[in-house]
């Protein structure tokens, strides 16, 4: 093992591997390793340049693990504020916060000593295996596990676990699964796996294991802090923060599957105006186009979109349209995009990546020319008509089959970079729209580390309309926030509904709406059955042949539901100044709007284990009702005083209380 102090960075070379550890902002380190002799220069999520940090590097005779100097061997230490990295003579990496061990590589190799790691298992903390015939490696990085540690963040996985300790997570993007590989530890550190490769992470009881199926280098970022807020600030210092969120979008967004004509859209908006409901944005969903990849309105059903937009704007309502990355072979854009190499390539078999309502290949947004082509088309056909924003659906991308090894982008194999696809897709729009000097707010179904800086509201995907799925969305939103993504939302009531007349669904809808009022974006959407509405016509293109779901406006579910949703809509409007302050915090220090209990109360051990209640900012403790026919629930109150919003009663903290939760009330406590 050879060590070198390279201008305050620690460089270690051994057996063909180059390891580099350097400061990446205060109390933070970036760690890279390669077997190729030189680093790629890719920053991936680490796009920002944090404030300079002063480091010390010491290279000394090795003593670690044996208690005396080992002749001819060295070890090295790099210190940056509160974090210290040590590399022993065998190349094993350890990290310390304020002198206390927080993370160490898993190493079970016999090294000629009696050290703790000296075993005959031949397992190293960094394992490289060359992919035959290519320049990439499969990479396996292991760390020792503290069984008492809790892990949060990591994006969005459709499961009940808020604490990811003990979980196995696929590092891949799917519809409703969002891989944002930043882990926040209860031991006081944050860890970003800065690699968009498809892979897996296991937060095991015996060890933690990160796997990249195809990579040219190892790259991760580790930071320490006194509180989760400190850690998230350091992380977003390095990866970027959300921008300014317009006040004009903090109210109600209206959407359904799907408005088929411009007259349907205008009829709904006019009704909202008559009802005296401020409608901030209305969403025009899929198949308003002739074919996927045309990226324009079908003139048969949308004869004058400019006039439609002008009328909506006169009501104070913005307009957002759905854009898919799939291009049908029948599309007017398929042939020119194919000839210019702007679509995803398949490694084997037919050139098809998506098969919903057409034979499609999806765009390659890693190619700058693809981004230019898509933007110029959408600008001409939407943006220049006054359309305000874009709903970037299917942005994982939603492959017909998630065989990542069969796809290739201009940036390389999908196995190497596919997790960054949604971010690059969003940048086709953000990078151009931001030039207008206005805040950019687009809706997108997926994200990766750093996506928060590209004007993305992420929603949780096509989830079922069940109480079980509703409960899952609570932890999804909380962990997305801890992964640095503060602009997040769900389909109120879930996406997939068989029967809107089912009383159980209507109860779910109300409980979900109540939750959504105390979340970043209040957005009505869903595919509502029964599917007994006839198509507009029997043609094979445009929106005519595609079905639509039942009405999904606030008044669509009967007077009782409408009364409750109007009540909560008014609550939302009454909080707009407060909600604005939360968005401002997100853009200032990376704090999410939807916060785990321990984010606000890090010294309360009970708060670290609560999964069914949360803080909406620092002021409101929210206890969603997560079960059918549940009309009371237990709520844990941390230290301090708080007021129950239904009665005004003041409660002391440090205890669990049971409060009433009739159908028209979700328990919320306000800190006083």
Catalytic site positions: 393, 396, 462
9, 20 contact by CB (below 8 A): yes
Q: Is 654 helix (H, G, I), strand (E, B) or coil?
A: coil
Token code pair at residue 347? 């490694």
Token code pair at residue 568? 């909560």
End-to-end CA distance of the chain: 58
Verify cis geometry, omega within 30 degrees of 0, for the bond prior to 258: yes
State the Cα–Cα distance between residues 184 and 543, nearest whole angstrom: 45
Query: Whose structure tokens read 């991936």?
Result: 44
State the Cα–Cα distance between residues 351 and 130, nearest whole angstrom: 28
State the Cα–Cα distance between residues 622 and 595, nearest whole angstrom: 10
SS (H, E, C) 502-557: CHHHHHHHHHHHHHHHCCCCEEECCEECCCCCCCCCCCCCCCCCCCCCCCCCHHHH
517, 568 contact by CB (below 8 A): yes
Query: Whose structure tokens read 């200032």?
Result: 588
Burial class (CB in 10 A: 0-12, 13-18, 19+), 438: exposed
Q: Is 435 helix (H, G, I), strand (E, B) or coil?
A: helix
Task: Give the helix ranges, DSSP H, for 297-395.
Answer: 305-314, 334-339, 368-381
Q: Is 574 helix (H, G, I), strand (E, B) or coil?
A: helix
Token code pair at residue 545? 């042949």
SS (H, E, C) 117-186: CCCCCCECCEEEEECCCCCCEEEEEEEECCCCCCEEEEEECCCCCCCCCCCEEEECCECCEEEEEEEEEC
Residues 6+ apart with CB under 8 A from 519: 477, 488, 489, 490, 593, 594, 616
State the Cα–Cα distance between residues 296 and 407, nearest whole angstrom: 27
List the beta bridge partners of residue 169.
Answer: 201
Helix, strand, coil fractions of the chain, as percent rounded to 5: 25, 30, 45
């Amino acid at each position: 093992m050879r060590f070198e102090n390279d201008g305050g960075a620690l460089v270690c070379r051994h057996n063909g591997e180059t390891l580099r550890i350097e400061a990446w902002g205060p109390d933070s380190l970036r760690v890279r390793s390669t077997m190729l002799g030189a680093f790629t220069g890719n920053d991936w999520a680490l796009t920002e340049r944090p404030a300079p940090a002063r480091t010390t590097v010491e290279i000394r005779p090795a003593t670690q693990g044996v208690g005396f100097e080992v002749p001819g061997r060295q070890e090295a230490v790099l210190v940056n504020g509160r974090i210290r990295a040590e590399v022993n003579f065998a190349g094993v990496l350890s990290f310390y916060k304020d002198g206390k061990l927080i993370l160490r590589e898993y190493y079970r190799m016999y090294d000629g000593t009696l050290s703790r790691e000296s075993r005959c298992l031949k397992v190293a903390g960094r394992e490289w295996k060359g992919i035959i015939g290519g320049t990439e490696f499969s990479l396996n990085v292991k760390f020792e596990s503290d069984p008492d540690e809790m892990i949060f963040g990591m994006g969005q996985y459709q499961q009940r676990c808020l604490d990811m300790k003990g979980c196995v997570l696929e590092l891949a993007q799917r519809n409703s699964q969002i891989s944002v590989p930043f882990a926040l530890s209860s031991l006081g550190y944050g860890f970003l796996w800065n690699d968009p490769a498809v892979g897996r992470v296991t937060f095991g009881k015996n060890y933690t294991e990160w796997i990249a199926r195809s990579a040219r280098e190892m790259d991760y970022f580790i930071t320490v802090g006194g509180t989760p807020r400190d850690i998230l600030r350091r992380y977003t210092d390095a990866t970027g923060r959300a921008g300014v969120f317009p006040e004009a979008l903090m109210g109600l967004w209206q959407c359904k599957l799907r408005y088929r004509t411009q007259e349907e859209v205008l009829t709904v908006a006019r009704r909202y105006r008559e009802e005296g409901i401020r409608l901030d944005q209305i969403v025009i969903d899929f198949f308003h186009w002739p074919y996927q990849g045309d990226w324009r309105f079908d003139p048969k059903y949308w004869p004058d979109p400019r006039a439609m937009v002008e009328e909506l704007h006169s009501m104070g309502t913005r307009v957002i349209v759905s854009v898919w990355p799939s291009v049908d072979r029948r599309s007017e854009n398929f042939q020119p995009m194919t000839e210019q190499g702007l679509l995803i390539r398949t490694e084997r078999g037919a050139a098809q990546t998506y098969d919903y309502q057409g034979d499609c290949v999806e765009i390659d947004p890693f190619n700058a020319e693809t981004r230019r082509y898509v933007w110029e088309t959408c600008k001409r056909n939407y943006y220049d008509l006054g359309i305000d924003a874009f709903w970037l659906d299917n942005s994982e991308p939603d492959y017909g089959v998630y065989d990542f090894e069969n796809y290739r982008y201009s940036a390389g194999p999908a196995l190497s970079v596919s997790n960054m696809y949604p971010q690059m897709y969003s940048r086709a729009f953000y990078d151009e729209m931001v030039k207008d000097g206005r805040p950019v707010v687009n809706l997108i179904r997926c994200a990766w580390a750093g996506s928060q800086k590209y004007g993305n509201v992420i929603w949780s995907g096509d989830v079922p309309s069940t109480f079980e799925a509703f409960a899952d969305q609570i932890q999804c939103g909380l962990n997305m926030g801890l992964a640095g993504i503060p602009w997040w939302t769900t389909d109120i009531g879930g996406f997939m509904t068989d029967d809107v007349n089912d009383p159980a669904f209507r109860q779910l809808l109300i409980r979900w709406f109540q939750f959504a009022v105390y979340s970043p974006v209040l957005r009505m959407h869903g595919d509502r059955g029964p599917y007994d509405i006839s198509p507009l016509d029997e043609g094979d293109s445009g929106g005519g042949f595609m079905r639509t779901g039942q009405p999904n406006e606030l008044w669509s579910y009967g007077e009782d539901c409408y009364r409750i949703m109007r009540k909560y809509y008014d609550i939302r409007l009454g909080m707009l100044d407060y909600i604005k302050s939360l968005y401002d915090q997100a853009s200032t220090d990376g704090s999410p709007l939807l916060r785990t209990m321990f984010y606000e109360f890090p010294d309360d051990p009970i708060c670290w284990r609560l999964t069914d209640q949360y803080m909406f900012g620092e002021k409101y403790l929210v206890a969603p009702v997560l079960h059918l026919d549940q009309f009371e629930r237990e709520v844990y109150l941390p230290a301090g005083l708080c007021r129950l919003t239904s009665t005004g009663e003041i409660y002391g903290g440090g205890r669990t209380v049971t409060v009433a939760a009739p159908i028209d009330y979700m328990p919320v406590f306000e800190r006083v």
